Amino acid sequence: MSSALRQKFIDYMTLRRLSPRTQKAYTNAVAGLAAYFHKSPDKLDDDQIQAYLLHLIKERRLAWNSCNVVFSGLRCFYGELLKWEQSRFSIPPRPRQKRLPMLLSVQEVQRLIDATGNPKHRTLLMTVYGAGLRVSEVVALKPRHIESSRMMIRVEQGKGQKDRYTLLPKRLLRELRAYYALYRPDQYLFFGRAKDSPMPVNSAQKAFYLAKKRAGITQGKGIHTLRHCFATHLMDMGVDIYVIKHMMGHSAIKTTSAYLHTSRQKIANVISPLDRPIAESPGNDTF
């Protein structure tokens, strides 16, 4: 893809207010297609695009989520930027896979936190779980976002470019104060190699995997597991689903309601119809 066409695509996504992470993923999707055929993407036809998508699914065996990112990126590039009609470019509709997240119990989360030797990593994992943050949100936190007087954490420009507030647990505040005294963060709360840059997302993921390994925990695919646990454990405690929706930053209540299926306490409190007492028949006696 030429530098001019790449910049045109980036400018279009910027005007649409897509996040930098989404812009990078979509640009890589189009660049991967162009590299596969050694040809500018605007010179390809639908047969070549379909062949590339099949290559990703059948030969590279990419996970559904990874394929979905590529499909969305190509749809944005061809359908929106180049305005190709459906007869010229088409992507078959894909059925959504509904999978429940792999969760940890409250005790397992505590074991994971206790197994974290690095104070910065320990505090970061506690912040993700204690406030229900996405990994992109926790690495973007700044000291001013910790509003201790209100016991809240301000999340600026989260997913969908939305601001919101979430919990600041008392235990987390104590941990954050000890962390601040030790590391003296400047621009970013959880900084990378330099204090003026945020910790890379991959580093945060590695901190989670290392802690999970040390704790001997096999459940949970990534640091996002802690965010899932935050929502589910709150539901177990009886917190209103609309309050959880706001703290999670979900656009639709349907997204939050998925955690109803993972709440063990909610399920445990349900009485099966098999266990309901059966009323005795009044019989045929007459007055």
- Closest by CA to 264, choosing from 99, 97, 107, 103, is 103
Q: Token pair for residue 74?
A: 């190509």
The residue annotated as part of the active site, out of 24, 154, 224, 266, is 224
The residue annotated as part of the active site, out of 121, 122, 164, 227, is 227
Output DSSP code: residue 77.
I
The residue annotated as part of the active site, out of 75, 145, 159, 266, is 159
Please say if 227 is a catalytic residue: yes
Angle between helices 119-131 and 201-215 (to 10 degrees): 90
Please say if 134 is a catalytic residue: yes
Please say if 121 is a catalytic residue: no
d(CA 163, CA 151): 17
Q: Which residue has the tokens 């349907």?
A: 254
Beta carbons of 168 and 147 less than 8 angstroms apart: yes
The residue annotated as part of the active site, out of 120, 134, 212, 245, is 134
3-state DSSP assignment of residue 139 = coil
The residue annotated as part of the active site, out of 121, 164, 228, 250, is 250
d(CA 226, CA 243): 18
Please say if 38 is a catalytic residue: no
Please say if 179 is a catalytic residue: no
B/e letters for 31-54, b = 16+ CB within 10 Å, e = fewer, are ebbbebeeeebeebeeeebeebbe
Please say if 162 is a catalytic residue: no
Amino acid at 109: V
Q: List the catalytic residues.
A: 134, 159, 224, 227, 250, 259
